[in-house]
Chain A
């Protein structure tokens, strides 16, 4: 290469480019935060002028994005059908975590219905369902006391017949079953782009590029991702998937449903004093420390897997209005309630993590099919909110998707209108399935919370309309709009005085994040991208006092003083990210767009 030319490109032109680009942003004094190519396209970037951007492509029959319960159930069912009908079927599954289960986080009390459908002999096969629920305890907490609430048969939070599981371990086991059946599993590779045919139907996905430096320029080790083409692509990215976000716009899938609403769930695993261990006990609470207008509650499950281990956590509805609320600190202070602290005393915390979860339920289910693709699992969202269970419905949706698309994808002479197959049968079958009935019956419980009595009104509503009438009331209550619009300006709210962590029961944020095992290649563009770099200080900090500093459970967002002069700037510690998606959901300016980082990065959860 001509050295003079190279000098010009790498030293002079980028400065011009940055200068021009800064002008295009709102403020000249805003330091550049976002360098990702989804915000600053590479075809206009001189640093990428001579880089080979051609991608290697491969063909499969079905590509599945996401190796969680839904994706794996779909993959397994497809291969079971293929073996049953003696047909060849290439099923490829890509997963952004380095190993299956590393990004899985859930309570969890599993209803084994869908698992039994997939593997009637799951027990003999060694599925890690080791803890049947023996005891259901529900409380309303006040600061020092608890009011017990009887869990009568018929109430949604009754767990008779369910199992307390470490979902990450179940996902790992499902992965082993899938591999045995011949599914091609590719953990460590994230689907970063949806590919389209000429007729705009989905053609497949492309995995992430690797070797891009933090400033957005190509490194020596730069390599393009690869393209996986398929007749049908299943999108099972879990709650608030980033590709699903694009698909909703592309195919207008949300025009006839309510926007999705969410909660954030934070979880820890503790090894406790054997004397306090009650294997099979499932405890839930509502009330303190949340006020009656902030939706949320806790869970504490005693596992029975050899060690005296408990899984506990706290859920906060993301429609909260006080920007000073910190879900992490609510979780930490909840653990000091006498009823909880007595269980944890003398124990040791061994894991921490967080993930957003769906709360929209029935009203928020979008259109599920489009030419070339389907949405499965928590991505469109089939969580039964009052039960706080979504795994069995996610798995069932995966199974239904597989059963609907199998005949089409293996048909000898299929007449398809579009290059990518459209499988509306999946949606039709889902609507007549148990999933639909279940979600319909509990559809009004979460929205019933929006009344002057808040939590108590919601409980009364549940008692009357669900317990007695099983959700058969003819009306459907609405949600209040998207969570991001629910924050009140900081000046209208009171800061919350949170107690300092004591280092034994409650802990600080950074030592918690360390326990998640999260890590990312440092030298890559931050994957928390901002559409406009000046908005955080101009709007989020100015009006809402920077709520992202508080709702991020991993300390990714920090407002720090600028190096020279007055003012603050937003610092994004992308390496801390635990892929919970809360920021993309709750940012009041909807300026944050979470995209997938280099595959393999993120938390290293073990049986969460």
Chain B
């Protein structure tokens, strides 16, 4: 199988940063906060680049949906080895309400436009933890999906995927074209080194608007309120079993 792979990369708040809820409770503070590529997207890019290095696929196209800064995330993917990028411009209120449904519609439209044979995504983003985009994209395209992939191998016109599931590992064989989502143990992403960042500046990033792809960005969800998780209450120590029973009765637990 030779051809084009689409890799989705999302710009998210860096995992080590402490999140703060906005004073108006509509979301979290993102202005000036350190962002980086979603760790599962890094793994997805690494897998795509590995397939290209094995000469199993011809071209890796990195896609990101978001504001101007998403271009930095695409550049990192280019520095890791992607050939070109597509920046789907979504900003302002549209970006605040952007979710898996709209992104999967965008990816499906791009996959058709670019005649992609494989879409590799991270299994979920660390900001919303939705774990939906890969599955929705496959459904929209009516393609098979290999999600939570911890091992991927291309065999003739099929793909063998080892999936991490609750009970252990499940091995499936799916037809191409297909959608894969990367889990943690799929690979160890390479560093985007400075010479590659410099070379990446010469690689092309195309700008596309969702409207050009015929995608409606209206969200079916409305966020009512965002709050911090409740502060952990202090525990209470009791000395005897009688005390414990009394306390449980007091608080109406028994």
Using an 8 Å CB-CB cutoff, how does the interface string of B211-243 with A read, 1 for contact, 0 for none?
A: 000000000000000000000000000000000
Identify the closest chain B residue to A514 (Cβ): B18
Q: Could you tell me the distance in whole angstroms from the C-beta of B151 to the nearest C-beta in chain A?
A: 17
Is the pair B193, A223 in contact by a Cβ cutoff of 8 Å? Answer: yes
A534–B16 alpha-carbon span in the complex (Å): 33
A320–B33 alpha-carbon span in the complex (Å): 35
Using an 8 Å CB-CB cutoff, how does the interface string of B24-54 with A read, 1 for contact, 0 for none?
A: 0000000111101000000000000000000
State which of A94, A221, A350 has its C-beta within 8 Å of the C-beta of B191: A221
Is the pair A186, B197 in contact by a Cβ cutoff of 8 Å? Answer: yes
Q: Does A322 contact B (CB under 8 A)?
A: no
A221–B192 alpha-carbon span in the complex (Å): 10
Q: For the complex, would chain B's binding face be called helix, strand, loop or mixed by DSSP majority?
A: loop
Residues of chain B within 8 A (CB-CB) of A207 are 194
Q: Could you tell me the distance in whole angstroms from the C-beta of B47 to the nearest C-beta in chain A?
A: 14
Assuming A271-B23, A517-B14, A519-B16, is B194 touching A189 (CB within 8 A)?
A: yes
Q: Does A198 contact B (CB under 8 A)?
A: no
Residues of chain A within 8 A (CB-CB) of B189 are 221
Residues of chain B within 8 A (CB-CB) of A186 are 194, 197
Q: For the complex, would chain A's binding face be called helix, strand, loop or mixed by DSSP majority?
A: mixed
Q: Which of B156-209 contact A (CB under 8 A)?
A: 188-191, 193-195, 197-198
Is the pair A350, B190 in contact by a Cβ cutoff of 8 Å? Answer: no
A350–B33 alpha-carbon span in the complex (Å): 12
Using an 8 Å CB-CB cutoff, how does the interface string of A40-74 with B read, 1 for contact, 0 for none?
A: 00000000000000001010000000000000000
Q: Does A159 contact B (CB under 8 A)?
A: no
Using an 8 Å CB-CB cutoff, how does the interface string of A83-125 with B read, 1 for contact, 0 for none?
A: 0000000000010001101100000000000000000000000
A189–B79 alpha-carbon span in the complex (Å): 14
Which of B15, B16, B18, B194 is packed against the most chain A CB atoms within 10 Å?
B194
Q: Could you tell me the distance in whole angstroms from the C-beta of B230 to the nearest C-beta in chain A?
A: 15
A223–B18 alpha-carbon span in the complex (Å): 30
Q: Does B55 contact A (CB under 8 A)?
A: no
Q: Does B17 contact A (CB under 8 A)?
A: yes
Residues of chain A within 8 A (CB-CB) of B14 are 98, 517, 519, 604
Residues of chain A within 8 A (CB-CB) of B247 are none
Is the pair A98, B195 in contact by a Cβ cutoff of 8 Å? Answer: no
Q: Which of B90-147 contact A (CB under 8 A)?
A: none
Assuming A514-B18, A519-B16, A604-B16, is B34 touching A98 (CB within 8 A)?
A: yes
Q: Could you tell me the distance in whole angstroms from the C-beta of A555 to the nearest C-beta in chain B?
A: 15
Is the pair B16, A517 in contact by a Cβ cutoff of 8 Å? Answer: yes
Is the pair B18, A515 in contact by a Cβ cutoff of 8 Å? Answer: yes
Q: Could you tell me the distance in whole angstroms from the C-beta of B73 to the nearest C-beta in chain A?
A: 12
Q: Could you tell me the distance in whole angstroms from the C-beta of B17 to the nearest C-beta in chain A?
A: 4
Is the pair B32, A168 in contact by a Cβ cutoff of 8 Å? Answer: yes
A297–B246 alpha-carbon span in the complex (Å): 53
Please give the number of chain A residues whose Cβ is less than 8 angstroms from any Cβ of chain B in the complex. 31
Is the pair A99, B194 in contact by a Cβ cutoff of 8 Å? Answer: no
Q: Does A529 contact B (CB under 8 A)?
A: no
Identify the closest chain B residue to A219 (Cβ): B188
Assuming A102-B34, A221-B188, A307-B23, is B193 touching A517 (CB within 8 A)?
A: no
Is the pair B32, A607 in contact by a Cβ cutoff of 8 Å? Answer: yes
A542–B198 alpha-carbon span in the complex (Å): 50
A271–B20 alpha-carbon span in the complex (Å): 11
Is the pair A169, B195 in contact by a Cβ cutoff of 8 Å? Answer: no
A186–B34 alpha-carbon span in the complex (Å): 15
Identify the closest chain B residue to A520 (Cβ): B16
Residues of chain B within 8 A (CB-CB) of A607 are 32
State which of A99, A211, A517 has its C-beta within 8 Å of the C-beta of B18: A517
Is the pair B198, A604 in contact by a Cβ cutoff of 8 Å? Answer: no
A606–B31 alpha-carbon span in the complex (Å): 8
Q: Does A226 contact B (CB under 8 A)?
A: yes
Residues of chain A within 8 A (CB-CB) of B20 are 350
Residues of chain B within 8 A (CB-CB) of A225 are 193-194
Using an 8 Å CB-CB cutoff, how does the interface string of A194-210 with B read, 1 for contact, 0 for none?
A: 00000000000001001
A604–B17 alpha-carbon span in the complex (Å): 7
Identify the closest chain B residue to A222 (Cβ): B191
Is the pair A58, B33 in contact by a Cβ cutoff of 8 Å? Answer: no
Which of A211, A606, A607 is packed against the most chain B CB atoms within 10 Å?
A606
Is the pair B16, A98 in contact by a Cβ cutoff of 8 Å? Answer: no
A56–B197 alpha-carbon span in the complex (Å): 13
Is the pair A101, B32 in contact by a Cβ cutoff of 8 Å? Answer: yes
Assuming A350-B20, A604-B17, is B194 touching A226 (CB within 8 A)?
A: yes
Identify the closest chain A residue to B189 (Cβ): A221
Q: Which residues of A contact B (CB under 8 A)?
A: 56, 58, 94, 98-99, 101-102, 168-169, 172, 186, 189, 207, 210-211, 220-221, 223, 225-226, 271, 307, 350, 514-515, 517-519, 604, 606-607
Q: 26 A-B Cβ contacts within 8 A? A: A56-B195, A58-B195, A94-B194, A98-B14, A98-B34, A101-B32, A102-B34, A169-B32, A186-B194, A189-B197, A211-B191, A220-B188, A221-B189, A221-B191, A225-B194, A226-B193, A307-B23, A515-B18, A517-B18, A517-B34, A519-B15, A519-B16, A604-B34, A606-B32, A606-B33, A607-B32
Q: Which residues of B contact A (CB under 8 A)?
A: 14-18, 20, 23, 31-34, 36, 188-191, 193-195, 197-198
Apart from A604-B17, A607-B32: 19 A-B pairs, beta carbons within 8 A:
A56-B195, A210-B191, A220-B188, A221-B188, A221-B191, A223-B191, A225-B194, A226-B195, A307-B23, A514-B18, A517-B14, A517-B16, A517-B18, A518-B16, A519-B16, A604-B34, A606-B31, A606-B32, A606-B34
